[in-house]
């Protein structure tokens, strides 16, 4: 069965391609390499023994999307990762984010509706919840007005998919990720942030290896036990596996609604200082850090209630924070060696 993975050479995309191939799916990966590297294909091959079919396509070009779907009419499912994801950049250049994340989604859905089997998995985000009133966060928590254009593209994306489901044959699953971290245990693929990392874990591993002088901890005066923000850090391989299960649910027509939504997290919240200490434990070294002002737009706490994914998908994150950090550290050491 042929599956399209857009953004297939990116961080979560590449790990999902591996899990799909491990389960016997034939994968066609699309990527425009704007935030990924062609060498990822070799990493995937070293893990699975097989390279996915690869098409270097920019999904912002409508005619390229149309031509792609004419060529691959036997696609039975699409996992759509391709998007920009830097919150700060989205504030500075909102139109780039609406073009990259919304236009591309529209073009892919337009073609998908023409296929006999229209199964669609969408990368959404826990940012749609903003600062939720109750922890852990269930899928029923209300969607809050987005703080950044990036967050808004995820909310609008979900709404587009809901509207399309009402009038077409497209069946979709929206996966709301909490904080994906880590790398494949083989250290053949992992996260490759361009420039200075904006996210906590790549900043930590780059500080650990000596590329960054010290980590800035954004605020220690939050109303949390140690004063730093709390997030739900999920190993990217656990996350990738959930995509395969969600896809199988659609392929087997087990979905009970045309659009289903699942939180993907571990269910456990960790503070920034807890992440730092866990990293120090797995790496066996002290991490230089300083406390600085709060970062604009950060919520105090966000961690998932994963009961729905556990019960309905039969999926549960297996890796601990330490295992995830350990894999991220192995990867960082490997790419710098």
- Nearest to 265, CA basis, from 333, 203, 319, 336: 319
Binding letters toward ligand WQD, positions 193-232, x by CB under 6 A: -----xxx--x-----------xxxx----------x-x-
Which residue lies nearer to ligand WQD by CB, 73 or 285?
A: 285
Told to judge if 98 belongs to the known catalytic residues of this protein, a careful annotator would answer no
The least distance separating ligand WQD from the CB of residue 325, rounded to whole angstroms, comes to 13
- Should residue 235 be labelled a site residue for ligand WQD when binding is judged by CB under 6 A? no
- Should residue 179 be labelled a site residue for ligand WQD when binding is judged by CB under 6 A? yes
Q: How many positions of this chain bind ligand WQD (CB under 6 A)?
A: 18
Contact, 235 vs 328, CB < 8 A?
no
Burial 260-292 (b: 16+ CB within 10 A, else e): bbbbbbbbbbbbbbbbbebbeebbeeebebeee
The least distance separating ligand WQD from the CB of residue 153, rounded to whole angstroms, comes to 10
| Catalytic annotation, pick one of 150, 177, 233, 303 | 150
The least distance separating ligand WQD from the CB of residue 130, rounded to whole angstroms, comes to 11
Q: Which of 15, 85, 176, 184 binds ligand WQD (CB under 6 A)?
A: 85
Q: Distance from CA of residue 305 to its chain's centroid?
A: 18
Which residues within the stretch 101-130 sit at the binding site for ligand WQD (CB under 6 A)?
125, 127
Decide: helix, strand or coil at residue 318.
Answer: coil
For the record, the structure tokens of 282 come out as 């797995």
- Should residue 266 be labelled a site residue for ligand WQD when binding is judged by CB under 6 A? no
Contact, 138 vs 308, CB < 8 A?
yes
Which residues within the stretch 295-324 sit at the binding site for ligand WQD (CB under 6 A)?
295, 298
CA gap 124, 177 in Å, rounded: 6
- CA–CA distances in Å: residue 163 to residues 189, 215, 256, 262: 36, 43, 17, 18
Ramachandran quadrant class, 284 (left: phi over 0; alpha: psi -120 to 50; beta: rest) = left
The least distance separating ligand WQD from the CB of residue 264, rounded to whole angstroms, comes to 12
Which residue lies nearer to ligand WQD by CB, 21 or 127?
A: 127
Binding positions for ligand WQD, rule: CB under 6 A: 85, 87, 125, 127, 179, 198-200, 203, 215-218, 229, 231, 272, 295, 298
Q: Which residues are catalytic?
A: 150
């Amino acid at each position: 069965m042929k599956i399209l993975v857009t953004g297939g050479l990116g961080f979560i995309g590449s790990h999902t391609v591996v899990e799909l191939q491990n389960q016997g799916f034939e994968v066609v990966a699309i990527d425009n390499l704007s935030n990924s590297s062609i060498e990822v294909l070799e990493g995937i091959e070293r893990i699975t023994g097989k390279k996915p079919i690869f098409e270097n396509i920019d999904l912002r070009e409508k005619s390229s999307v149309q031509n792609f779907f004419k060529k691959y009419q036997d696609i039975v499912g699409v996992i759509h990762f391709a998007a920009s994801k830097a919150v700060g950049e989205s504030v500075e250049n909102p139109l780039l984010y609406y073009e990259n994340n919304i236009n591309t989604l529209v073009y892919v859905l337009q073609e998908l509706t023409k296929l006999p089997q229209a199964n669609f998995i969408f990368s959404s985000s826990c940012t749609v919840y903003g600062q939720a009133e109750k922890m852990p966060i269930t899928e029923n928590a209300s969607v809050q007005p987005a703080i950044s254009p990036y967050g808004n593209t995820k909310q609008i994306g979900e709404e587009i998919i809901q509207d399309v489901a009402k009038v077409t044959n497209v069946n979709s699953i929206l996966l709301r990720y909490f904080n994906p971290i880590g790398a494949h245990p083989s250290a053949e693929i992992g996260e490759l942030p361009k420039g200075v990392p904006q996210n906590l874990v790549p900043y930590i591993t780059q500080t650990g290896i000596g590329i960054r002088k010290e980590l800035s901890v954004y605020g220690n005066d939050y109303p949390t036990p140690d004063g730093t923000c709390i997030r739900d850090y999920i190993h990217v391989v656990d996350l990738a596996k959930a995509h395969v299960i969600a896809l199988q649910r659609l392929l087997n027509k087990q979905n009970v609604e045309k659009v289903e939504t699942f939180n993907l997290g571990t269910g456990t919240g960790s503070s920034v200082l807890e992440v730092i200490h866990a990293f120090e434990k797995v790496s066996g070294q002290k991490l230089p850090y300083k406390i600085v002002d709060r970062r604009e737009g950060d919520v105090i706490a966000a961690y998932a209630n994963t009961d729905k994914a556990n019960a309905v998908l039969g999926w549960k994150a297996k890796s601990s924070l330490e295992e995830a950090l350990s894999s991220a550290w192995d990867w960082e050491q490997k790419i710098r060696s």
